[in-house]
């Protein structure tokens, strides 16, 4: 379709499974934008990851849009529409190539996202912005002027791993162990053993509401064993490795804490910290530190080429930030979730 914001701007649907050329140009917009903030610490998905996600994902519908001016792809959108829970909610990523900003392209893309979210029956929309430490975030003026309010602020922190991790891990584990008698740790790669799937589903459901959510209008996610299997199926199709550690309460046999790291094929030196959760009733035993240290040890043993871990935590999440500081994470950026009611 053509937009009124810029007469030569076209916003088109992108099917990542059939349009390789457009997908490559679309991915490049995201990479350039992320590089603009973070240089070689950019974190965008590869074309292969996006294709595999589109093929495999079942817990949401994903729509991709490209903004074009002539042959150039100048902006990109990913719209996420949850299908198993949060049916009132939509999340969009809107990015304009750094060379094409301040020409109304972001506004036109956002208007399109809002219209699609409304059409899908969604009443709340969140969009995300991220800026490096010391950079001004354009979204700070862009989003509020379009009716959005900051709902959640996350700190991005990176840990550059030393060649010898042992001294750090030993200290953390010794300290954690002194507070966590009665718990064991288990680590697995690239999938959850069948016998742990149900318990792991409980942890994911709790993760969706126990981590600070600020003012985001989201409800607890619905998880079962099949959704955990599906999560790993998507990761495998994307070529990602995943290492996960859980803490098990010996007395009850219950999995009460977990953490996982994902490693993308196209950035083999970088691991992404995904979830970390300690169930509320088991907090205060340094289990977060225990599982993170064990998981890092497993990562180093299994994928010694990984040199950096990237994580996002709510700025209000003091306990998690304390664990990460103890591990040596340094602040690198700030991410904001902006939210608007569509009613």
Contact residues for ligand COA, defined by CB under 6 A: 33, 94-96, 101-107, 127, 129, 138-139, 141-143, 145, 338
136 vs 181 by CB, closer to ligand COA? 136
CB of 131 to ligand COA, least distance (A): 7
94 vs 294 by CB, closer to ligand COA? 94
CA distances from 42 to 33, 36, 275 (A): 9, 8, 20
293 vs 335 by CB, closer to ligand COA? 335
26 vs 338 by CB, closer to ligand COA? 338
35 vs 101 by CB, closer to ligand COA? 101
CA-nearest of 22, 15, 82, 93 to 54 is: 15
CB of 103 to ligand COA, least distance (A): 5
In 3-state terms the chain splits into helix, strand, coil percentages (rounded to 5) of 35, 30, 30
CB of 18 to ligand COA, least distance (A): 26
Q: Could you give the CA distance from residue 276 to residue 253 in angstroms, rounded to a whole number?
A: 19
126 vs 276 by CB, closer to ligand COA? 126
CB of 21 to ligand COA, least distance (A): 22
90 vs 287 by CB, closer to ligand COA? 90
204 vs 339 by CB, closer to ligand COA? 339
Beta bridge partners of 189: 243
Task: Provide CB contacts within 8 A for 101, sequence distance 6+.
Answer: 138
Q: Give the pairing of strands 254-263 and 270-278.
A: antiparallel
CB of 245 to ligand COA, least distance (A): 33
CB of 138 to ligand COA, least distance (A): 3
Task: Provide CB contacts within 8 A for 161, sequence distance 6+.
Answer: 296, 300, 306, 307, 308, 309
CB of 52 to ligand COA, least distance (A): 24
CA distance from start to end of the chain: 25
Closest residue to ligand COA, judged by C-beta, is 106
**What DSSP string describes 170-237?**
HHHHHHHHTT-TTEEEEEEESS--GGGHHHHHHHHHHHHHHS--TT---------HHHHHHHHHHHHH
Supply 186's token pair.
């288990």
């Amino acid at each position: 379709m053509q937009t009124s914001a810029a007469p030569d701007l076209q916003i088109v649907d992108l099917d990542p499974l059939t349009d390789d050329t457009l997908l490559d140009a679309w991915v490049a917009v995201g990479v350039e934008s992320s590089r603009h903030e973070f240089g070689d610490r950019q974190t965008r998905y590869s074309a292969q990851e996006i294709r595999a996600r589109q093929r495999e994902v079942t817990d949401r519908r994903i729509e991709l849009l490209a903004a074009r001016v002539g042959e150039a792809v100048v902006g990109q959108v990913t719209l996420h529409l949850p299908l198993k829970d949060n049916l009132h909610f939509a999340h969009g990523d809107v990015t304009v190539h750094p060379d094409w900003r301040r020409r109304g392209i972001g506004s036109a893309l956002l208007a399109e996202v809002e219209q699609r979210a409304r059409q899908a029956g969604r009443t709340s929309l969140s969009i995300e912005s991220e800026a490096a430490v010391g950079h001004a975030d354009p979204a700070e003026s862009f989003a509020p002027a379009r009716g959005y309010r900051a709902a959640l602020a996350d700190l991005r922190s990176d840990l550059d791993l030393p060649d010898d991790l042992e001294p750090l891990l030993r200290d953390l584990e010794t300290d954690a162990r002194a507070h966590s008698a009665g718990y064991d740790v288990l680590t697995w790669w690239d999938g959850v053993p069948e016998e742990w799937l149900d318990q792991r589903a409980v942890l994911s459901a709790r993760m969706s509401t126990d981590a600070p959510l600020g003012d985001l209008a989201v409800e607890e996610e619905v998880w079962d064993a099949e959704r955990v299997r599906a999560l790993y199926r998507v990761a495998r199709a994307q070529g990602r490795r995943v290492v996960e550690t859980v803490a098990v309460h010996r007395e009850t046999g219950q999995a009460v804490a977990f953490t996982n790291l994902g490693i993308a094929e196209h950035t083999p030196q970088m691991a992404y910290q995904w979830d970390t959760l300690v169930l509320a009733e088991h907090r205060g035993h340094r289990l977060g530190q225990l599982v993170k240290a064990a998981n890092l040890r497993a990562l180093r043993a299994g994928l010694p080429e990984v040199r950096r871990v990237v994580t996002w935590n709510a700025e209000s999440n003091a306990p998690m930030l304390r664990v990460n500081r103890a591990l040596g994470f340094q602040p690198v950026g700030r991410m904001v979730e902006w939210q608007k009611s569509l009613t």
